[in-house]
Each structure stands twice: as C-alpha cells, then as structure tokens.
Structure 1
C-alpha cells in the first residue's frame, strides 16, 4: 500500500520549515527595513512571495520588528480597502499595543476599531458612509503607534497591484508611506512588472529610490537535493528522474513542488522512481491544471492567445514560423506581447521568451501544438 502523506507542500503558502532557499531574500528585506526608503517585492504568482512575507514576519517578531500584513488581492473600492486594512491591524497588532491602537482609532471617530469589525458595522448601519476618513485613520495609525514602542514597524501591502483598480487610493497610500518612512517601513508586494507603474516619481517622492527585490526561480541544484532528500527520508529513490522533474518544472517554485507531490503518488515505499513514473506525474499535473488553463485562454483575445501559443511552442512571439503557423500578424504580436507580460503570463529573459508557468506552456503544446 502506498504512503500518500506527501512531504511536498504545493497548495497555498509553504510552512516556514519547508521553505527552500529564501534565506538571502528574507535577510535582504529585514536589512532594508532599517533604511528610510520604501521597498518592493516583485514576483509572479506562485513564486512563494506570501510564504517569504510570513517568514519575515515570524522571524522579525523575535528581534522586535512589528509586521502588519494586509492582503489586497482583488480589492475593489475604498470601502473594501478600509476593511482589508482594519482586519490586518486586528490580526497583527500585538496584545500590549491593542489598547493604544484602539484608543487612537476611536479618537479618529471614523468608524474603525482594533476588533476588525468596526467599519463593517458602520457600513451596515449607514451604507452611504464616506470611507476616506476611515482610510486616513488606518494609514496614519503606523506612525502614531511607532511613538509607543521601540523598533520599527513594517507594513506589508500584499498583492499591491490590485490597488491599480482603486485609483483614488493610490495617492493616499504613497503619501502616507513616504511621510512615515523615518519610523515605519513599507513593503509593496505583488506580481508583474507594472506593479509600481503608479508610484509617484517626483522630486519629493522619487520611486527611483525605492528598494526593489525581484524573486527568481529556485536554484536547480538545491531543488534536486531537497527533492531527493525528502524522498529518501521516506525510503524512496528518485535519483534517476530528479533531473527530469526539475527540467519539466523549469525551477518554478510551486510547479516543482506540485510535480514532486504527484511523483510521490506514483512511487511506493522501497521503490525507485522510473521515467514512466515521472511521465505519469506530468500527465496528472496537466489534468490538474486543465480547467485553469482553459480559463486563462478564454480570458484572452484571439491575438493574445496566439502570442501565448507562439511563446509556448516557438520560444518567441516573433518567429516567422510561428507567425505563419498561427496566422498571427506581426503587428498583432507586437501589441499583444506587452499585455501578456504585464499580466504575468510571459516574460522576456536573458535566455529569451518563455511562459512563466511551465505547466501552462506544456498544456498548450500538448493540446494545441503546431510543431511536428
């Protein structure tokens, strides 16, 4: 009977003791918090950004760094932003500071509270409530709390690219972050090269001075060792296929763990993994991403779909053979490629173009391949 208790976490943030090779990145962010500059953490989806933030918060607490993380994914309005920030403070404010934070928010008379439910109750009682005073109160809270504790406060605004959909909020956030930088650090985290496109770049608040850390794919050598060690610790041997697994995952953090997990399902205890086992794991992975891949393709224009296919199959959106095979006008490719880059589907690297998600690329080649 096969042991299905896989040691590979792939669904959601990774437990701190399972993280691979993010020590340098965590140390860099912590060092930057002591500088009076804004910070950005940029990474595609599923690169371990949220896991890294949790690591920074957990380790920061041990050295007196207070970390407040707000998840802004798909934030829809000023009121929604207020709710997200209020919940973040309710969740992350240390017990010894809760009375002080509560008094500060109460004195603002903006309908927010340290309990995390104040503004929701305010809106339920009066749906036409203007959220801007509440937003100001929450954005001013870090600097006010900093006067009541030693050490710095780190505010993490995760999935910050979503704020682009709430333009009136952006100027307020940048203004408060810049003004508070002497006592409060801000980390803007999100995906896509356009995440910081709305940052002010003027003499008073130069975005060019922002510290930016781009999360890369994981090192192949370390991935191979971790995968082999976790299999070996449970009496399984993947020495013959680990190179193929890492090649198939293209060192993508989450996709590597997913393939390792699915390979685990194929290899009984006491056995040695074969290439057939690896192929079975890859096939299972393609089945698992099928619905997501179809939704991704359906959400694109015809031209964008063709460019995505061109990159997946030919490694470039401009290859003459790709343009001919897909009936893709060069002008369409030139217009569509930047959109796919901005949405985090493809990237132009020193090694050339590629689809960021290796399983999406393989799914495209498997289902729509035009190359012999």
Structure 2
C-alpha cells in the first residue's frame, strides 16, 4: 500500500480543508449569503475559485444550516443545457426529507424532471423537439419550494456564470425568478472572464445590472504560502529548506501554479531529506516543461497584436509602452493599447496601478523565453 503520498494537488479543485488560507474570503461570502445579499465573484482561471466556493458551500451548510447548491455553467449553449445543469445540481446536493419532497414535486409536474437517474436530459434525448423552457422555469423556482419545507435559506452558486451570455436572453430569464427569491435564497455568481462579468452586471441595458455586490479573488500572500508549503513538507517527513523563497518568487501568489511548483519540488526530495536549490532548479524546469504544450497552444490562439502586447508587458517589466520595446516589436502604441484591453477582459493580463502583469507568472517566463527564438509572432 502506498502511504507516502504527494500532499500538493494541482490538477483538480481542492477539498475545503486543503485550501491555502482564504479565511477572510470565506467569511465575506458567508456573511453576504446569510444577510441575503447576492455576490458576483471574479477570479482568473486556476485561482482556486471553485475550491473556495466548495468551502463556502460546506461551511454554509454546517454552520448556518443553509442548503448548498453548486451549478456549473461552463460551456452551456442552450436553454436545454442550463436546465440539465440545474437539475443535476439539485440531484447531487439535496438530501433526506427535502430531497424526497422536491423529487415528488418534480415528478408531479409531468415535465420529465427528476432527481434520479432519468431526468430532463433523458427526456430530451427521447423527445429532441420537447421544449425545455417550462422545465427550466420550474427548476429556477425551486428555492421557493425549499423554503416551504421550513429550510433556512438556499445558497446557490452559479459557477462560470459568464457562459450564460451564449444563451439568448438567459440573464433576463434568470432575473425574472431571482428577483422574488431574496428572502429564501442567496446567490453567488462566479466567473473567470472580467469583461463578460462586467457586461452582465455593469451595463445599464442588461437585466442583471446592479444585482450583485462585486468581489474579486486576489492572489495568495507569500506568508500563507510559505507556512502551507513548510507544514506539508514537514507532515510528510521532509523539509522545504532553502527552496521556499525561490518558489514564492516564481509562483507570485498564483494558487494553482503554487501547488504545481510545490508538487514538483516534493517529488524530488526523498523522505527525511531537505530541499536544496538544486532540487528547486529541477522542479522549476520540470514544471515549465509540463506546461510547454499548454502555453504553446494558448499562444497560437492569440492574434499577432495580442502576442506583441504580451511581449511588450514582459519586456517592459510592466510598462508596455516604452519606446524601445515598441520599436523592437514594430508595434504602434495604439495597437498595443487595444490588444491589452482585450487581454484584460479575458484575464490574461491584470493591471496594478500604472503597470501591467501577466496573470500566470509561469506563462510570463515562457513568453520571456520567446525572445530571439523567432516565434514571437507566429
């Protein structure tokens, strides 16, 4: 039996007890939920957003008696997709008498809804022309049904919420229901693309304008990362030693990249040993090698101007409009400014005061390495 297991998980959302810090963010989200406020949470991809939401849902149920519901909307393209996601979310998370009561109600509607194996998805497969809209209306009204049974409040998290922009008038449909549920449900609208999230909640012409309190998930603090890494090494009979500081410098508070680098480092340190700078150099190189195909694919999806803008940010140390940099890249300032606007909207770049930085610090290293390779605008 394998007992010496790497404690650093980077390929999937973390269990609530394995998250680095995030105590303040958890408290803020729970306080808003208990107070009946709707929140829109933004975080770049791989920032631990889903892991945090899992912790909030767990603590909301344990500490506040709330009914937790997580709906993953990633990749939805139609009303049918959204209906299936809501039905499966309730199926996964409702329990006991509440589940039995809701299941009885759903089956009584005659719409093909069920918390069991055969639900609206099965019906739509058998009857492709069936209209899923009545089923979705019913599912969106379920918080009112939950309240009828004496439950305190539902906490409903809609993850990757920006993808509803691909479903015509979905935000209007959603608002027509949630505007009447403030006394029985709290919603967290979580997304990873700031441009689309702003469009949904800050455009006066959109139905959800002003409907949720904004909250951004920030990078992790170095002190929290250092304590976490040191403790995990220690609990598995190792020491992180002098590798901690270069790990912090490379990760720059990025949650998933922190876990990847720590995972790689741990793999190289034998039981009972202490990590050295040599271990760190090998771990760092291994992580960059693992990410090479991902970075190359992401790079080739960018336009030429977006590639130049990323090169300008990196070469200019956060100041992309420096004349020597623009001249070297043969890029007008106006084209870099326009490209940066797009990159900011997609959370590939973030702005800190007057400076810009790539969200992914390891991608920034990779982009820096393109200089002189001939691939800068390929």
Q: TM-score range with shorter-chain normalisation? A: over 0.9
Compared CA separation, residues 24 and 317, structure 1 to 2 (3 A): same
User: Partner residue of 2:9?
Assistant: 9
Shift of 1:231: 1.7
Shift of 1:91: 0.6
User: Partner residue of 2:376?
Assistant: none
User: Partner residue of 2:234?
Assistant: 232
1:191 maps onto 2:192 in alignment: yes
User: Partner residue of 1:330?
Assistant: 333
Q: Which runs of 5+ in 2 are unaligned?
A: 374-378
* Distance (whole Å) between structure 1 residues aligned to residue 37 and residue 262 of structure 2: 39
* Distance (whole Å) between structure 2 residues aligned to residue 117 and residue 321 of structure 1: 63
Query: Is 1:65–1:151's contact at 8 Å kept on the other side of the alignment?
Result: yes
User: Partner residue of 2:216?
Assistant: 214
Among 364, 371, 374, which residue is 1:368 paired with? 371
TM-score for the superposition, normalised by structure 2: 0.91
Query: Is 2:201–2:212's contact at 8 Å kept on the other side of the alignment?
Result: no
User: Partner residue of 2:77?
Assistant: 76
* Distance (whole Å) between structure 2 residues aligned to residue 351 and residue 6 of structure 1: 40
Query: Is 2:202–2:210's contact at 8 Å kept on the other side of the alignment?
Result: no
- Equivalent residue runs for 1:94-109 within 5 Å: 94-109=95-110
Shift of 1:322: 2.1
* Distance (whole Å) between structure 2 residues aligned to residue 212 and residue 289 of structure 1: 32
1:355 maps onto 2:361 in alignment: no
1:243-262 CA distance string (max 9 Å, x none): 11101110111101110111
1:134-182 CA distance string (max 9 Å, x none): 1111111112221212311111101101111113212111222222112
Query: Is 2:175–2:208's contact at 8 Å kept on the other side of the alignment?
Result: no
Query: Is 2:67–2:151's contact at 8 Å kept on the other side of the alignment?
Result: no
TM-score for the superposition, normalised by structure 1: 0.93
Shift of 1:196: 3.9
* Distance (whole Å) between structure 2 residues aligned to residue 119 and residue 186 of structure 1: 23
Query: Is 2:79–2:136's contact at 8 Å kept on the other side of the alignment?
Result: yes
User: Partner residue of 1:311?
Assistant: 313
Shift of 1:309: 1.9
Query: Is 2:241–2:276's contact at 8 Å kept on the other side of the alignment?
Result: no
Between Structure 1 and Structure 2, how many residues are aligned? 368
1:168-201 CA distance string (max 9 Å, x none): 2121112222221121111101113221422376
* Distance (whole Å) between structure 1 residues aligned to residue 357 and residue 226 of structure 2: 22
Aligned-CA RMSD value: 2.1
Query: Is 2:251–2:261's contact at 8 Å kept on the other side of the alignment?
Result: yes
* Distance (whole Å) between structure 1 residues aligned to residue 205 and residue 372 of structure 2: 51
* Distance (whole Å) between structure 1 residues aligned to residue 188 and residue 46 of structure 2: 18
Query: Is 1:30–1:56's contact at 8 Å kept on the other side of the alignment?
Result: yes
* Distance (whole Å) between structure 2 residues aligned to residue 310 and residue 294 of structure 1: 18
Compared CA separation, residues 280 and 229, structure 1 to 2 (3 A): same
